[in-house]
Structure 1
Amino acid sequence: ATSDIRNIRIVSNSGKHKIYDLVSFLRKGDYSNNPYLIEGDVVIISKIDKLVKISGLVKYPAIYEFVLNESVNDLIELAGGFLTTARTDTIEVVRFTLDGKTQQSNYYPLDEIEKGKIFLENGDHIIVREIPEYFKEHFVLLDGYIKYPGWYKIVKNKTTLRDIVEEAGGFLKEASLTEATVSRRLQIDEKDPEYERLKVINPADMTEDEYDYFKAKSRQTSGRVVVDFVDLFINSNLDENIVLIRGDVIKIPEKKNYIIMLGQLIMPGKVIYDSTLSVQNYIELAGGFGWRAIEDEVRVIKAKTGEWLDAEDVTKLDPGDTIWIPEEPPGPNFWEVFMDGLTIVAQLAAVAAAMAAIIIATR
């Protein structure tokens, strides 16, 4: 839009005129800027000529029409006010110098801004910056089977995983340290360009390395930090005692006392965990292989990492692991084979008839 709706001029029959700011009415509900018109009034809306800008941590950062005698505080209010993460101890006002060729910055604290005595000029740019990282409160979330779950404050570059678990009262007896995880929220939105590229490619068109990479990334938990809770809290290996950062989420799931049996088995389901049993033992407890099972392609999916392993490479199962038996692909449907065969016979008959006709015609 090119119309200046912050400087609308209304001229009455008597020749008196007054300026009204329609944006102030729409944004702040200021009815003094939305007067009733009377017969004979002339409404004049000019083309935008002069502008000011506000950017950064306000609710409605934008370029606004310049209004004479408007203060920096007025513009901040018009822009909806500060966001909670706005730094208000130093607000920057960028202004052109008298020659109009260069700009200079002045910085004001909020208490001086709120006095309403710093007036705007055409071309001014107000910048409200974010609170620096070191000013922000740092919290992490503990969820699941821990004595006192919830949000906990940490000290930047100091509080460790072990510190926060102790502060939360430690694990409950039902807690599964094997499946416990730390997720780093600040990394969740980070995208892998190669993975994004492969997502739009047909797997049949990928190289072997590309397909292996695509499968591995598809199974990866976004933002997950590699840490072994068992090694840290049972074996006291302090190499696993990572320093936490703001936004980390620590999840402690319930301990699973079973192995999940999936695929071509006589009785798929959950089998009670026994550390002395092998993959083959669990298959036998699930009734053995189903009639379409591919017996030499059994896979184990680890509960902690989601990693897929060949059964023959697994020396020890852990609670919550999954044993998966794939299925032979279905053979051709009888009716489809019959119809295909019938079509071929019909085609051969047509060819034979055509050849016979040619032979007769040439005699």
Structure 2
Amino acid sequence: MQIMLKSLCLSLVLACLALSVASHAADAPKPYGANLFQGNFSQSGEGAAVAPGDRVVLRLWGGGLTVDDTFIVDAGGRIELPGVGPLSVAGIAHDKLAEDLRSKLAASGHGETQIYVAPLDARPVSVFVTGGVVRPGRYAVSPGDPVLSLLDKAGGIDPRRGSYRSIRLLRNGALVGNLDLYPFVRGGELPGLRLQDGDTLVVDSKGPAVTATGAVRNEARFEFFKDQATGAALMELAGPESRASHISLAGTRKGAPYSTYLPLKELAHLRLEDGDRVQFMADATGNTIMIEVQGAVRGSSRFPVRRGARLRDVQDFIAVEPGRANLKALYIKRKSVAARQKKAIADSLRRLEETALTASSSSTEESQIRAKEAEMVAKFVERAKSVEPEGVVVLDDGSNNADLTLEDGDVIVIPAKSDVVLVSGEVMVPQAMLWSEEKDLDDYVRGAGGYGNRADRDNVLIMHSNGAVSRNSGKISAGDQILVLPKVESKSMQAVKDISQVLMQVAVSTGAVLGLPFLQ
């Protein structure tokens, strides 16, 4: 039974690996030129026309002309007819050839002449296709059909084995011509290889290949001739976009994994190896940054400015709501500041966890209390980790505010004027109250029903409209917010200190109070 279970588990693992490989293969870029073989060339033999090199049997009688011969269409697409001269026949469909020649003879004064014409090369020829194709075999085509028709009938190039750049046409064991599909894909250039009965078309093995992805016009796997896989050649084929600035190269060198990250201009001088993967990336510092405006504004809320611009450079472009915008309380929300605030909170939480987990106990009863406290601290830490700081940059009343250099993603906040003061946190009835110059902190707290049972009267924050924060005292202006923090209760003084610090950091960075559900 165990053997059967092991066998079943092994089969499941192998099946998962196979699915993973298949999924990766489906996502990988296809060979350059793979879209050629979709069946569109396989029907090219229909409606074949006369081409240079074709043989034409022509018999004429009556009207002063007697001809019975086989003519070869010259490089200019003409046949030389005795007594008449050169007649152009290239490009004329086989079933329209007699009608066309009769018209041309009538125009030259031989309207009574009877005509019989038969293109000898109109009959199909059999050609063998082998090598790196999907369906090797023997296929019938017209002699004038392009080699692409043969390849399409054979299912196209096998993407795992076949070469798109080395295809040989053999006749009686001798090489007739070579075909490279890349010039056709890029510019429509296709050599005029004429097929004959018994020819063999051989698709050689795939050459060194390099994959290009990312910021390129042609995302594909590119094949190169031996010793010609260079960065410059890859860039010419892949066509990097204008935004591409760097490349990430991954491959193998001397049997070991190899990777590097370089500016785009250095790729041209690199020699690439079979199996290399080059990702083109847009990592260059741009000339513009995006700025957002929030608050009492109208019109566009996001717009680009030049890198290095200062606050004064954009203030004139911000359309504020007249009479409603509080320009004196303007502040900035910045991503880099928010990241530092997030890190500071994380550091405080780490210290808090260490304190809770390493606290010693002098009795069994105290040990149980410590364990319960540690559990509640863990819940508090989990909640605090989800806090997302706003990254407020406070601007004072000085004249140097306009010199502040803006960063990409900055949000300029212009608060709306307000006549109320919001009181929240550990008060009996959190609410907004009409601002009065005569009121102080105690007046507003009393207006909110007084301090709650869990209020920490020594930790009351005044959040000003411009993002500044004062503690326990200070002038309260219209639009400010009063936050009463909860009191931390624990036998561990260090835990009290650490939790209080986190509460303060969260309140300052988010403008909200993080509750303490574990306090009784």
Q: TM-score, normalised by structure 2?
A: 0.39
Please name the residue that 1:273 is paired with.
435
Q: Find the partner of 1:85 among 214, 219, 243.
A: 243
Per the alignment, residue 248 of structure 1 pairs with: 410
| Contact map agreement 1:58 1:76 (CA 8 A) in 2 | yes
Report if aligned partners of 1:294, 1:326 keep a CA contact under 8 Å in 2: yes
Look up the SS of the partner of 1:282 in the other structure: helix
For 1:168, the equivalent position in structure 2 comes to 318
- Residue 244 of structure 1: CA displacement? 2.1
1:300 equivalent to 2:461? Answer yes
SS at match of 1:261: strand
- The answer to whether the 8 A contact 1:220-1:306 is kept is no
Cα displacement (A) at 1:316: 1.1
Structure 2 distance, partners of 1:55, 1:204, is: 46
Percent sequence identity over aligned pairs: 17
CA deviations 1:287-336 (Å, max 9, x no partner) are 4456x365844612414447472x2xx1311322214275798xxxxxxx
Q: 1:198 to 1:186 in 2, by over 3 A?
A: closer
Distance 2:384 2:488 in 1: 24
Going from structure 1 to structure 2, the CA distance change for 1:107 and 1:283 (only over 3 Å counts) comes to same
3-state SS, counterpart of residue 404 of structure 2: coil
Counterpart for residue 209 of structure 2: 51
Alignment of 1:130-279 (within 5 A): 130=282, 132-133=284-285, 136-157=287-308, 159-169=309-319, 172-177=322-327, 179-185=329-335, 195-196=345-346, 199=349, 202-203=352-353, 205=355, 221-228=389-396, 231-232=397-398, 237-239=399-401, 241-263=403-425, 265=427, 267-279=429-441
Shift of 1:122: 4.4
SS in 1 for 2:133: strand
Q: In the alignment, residue 416 of structure 2 is paired with which amino acid?
A: E
Q: 1:166 to 1:302 in 2, by over 3 A?
A: same
CA distance in 2, matches of 1:295, 1:130: 51
* Counterparts of residues 60-79 of structure 1 (less than 5 Å): 64=221, 66=223, 72=234, 76=238
* CA-CA distance at 1:266 after TM superposition: 5.1
Where 2:288 maps in the other structure, the secondary structure is coil
- Matched to 1:20, the amino acid is I
Q: Find out whether 1:315 has 2:474 as its counterpart.
A: yes
Distance 1:298 1:224, change over 3 A: closer
Give the equivalent residue in structure 2 for 1:9: 133
CA drift of 1:144 comes to: 2.2
Q: How many residues align?
A: 265
Deviations 1:29-76 (A, max 9, x none): xxxxxxxxxxxxxxxxx99984314365349979x4736699747963
Contact kept, 8 Å, 1:139 with 1:152, in 2: the verdict is yes
> Equivalent residue of 1:133, what SS?
coil
Q: Distance in 2 between matches of 1:325 and 1:93?
A: 53
What do you get for the CA RMSD once the two structures are aligned? 5.4
8 Å contact from structure 1 (residues 219, 306) kept in 2: no
**Counterparts of 1:281 and 1:11, CA distance in 2:** 90
Secondary structure of 2:442 counterpart: helix
Deviation at 1:250, TM superposition (A): 0.8
Q: Whole-Å Cα distance in 2 between the matches of residues 51 and 259 of structure 1?
A: 69
- Partner of 1:324, secondary structure, is strand
- 1:320 partner letter: D
Structure scoring higher RCO (CA < 8 A, sep ≥ 6) equals 1
In 2, Cα distance between equivalents of 1:67 and 1:246: 42
Aligned-partner SS, 1:154: strand
C-alpha distance 141-9 of structure 1, shift in aligned 2 (>3 A):
same
Structure 1 residues 242 and 317 mapped into 2: Cα distance closer, same or farther (>3 Å)? same
CA distance in 2, matches of 1:241, 1:86: 33
Structure 2 Cα separation of the partners of residues 48 and 202 of structure 1 = 61
1:322 aligned partner, one-letter code: I
Counterpart amino acid of 2:424?
L
Give 1 or 2: higher strand fraction.
2
TM-score, structure 1 as length reference: 0.52
- In the alignment, is the contact (CA less than 8 A) between 1:147 and 1:172 conserved in 2? no
Cα deviation, 1:263-306, whole Å, max 9, x if unaligned, reads 5555431111113211112233334456x365844612414447
State the alpha-carbon separation in 2 of the partners of residues 293 and 126 from structure 1: 60
* Offset, 1:242: 0.8
2:7: which partner in 1? none
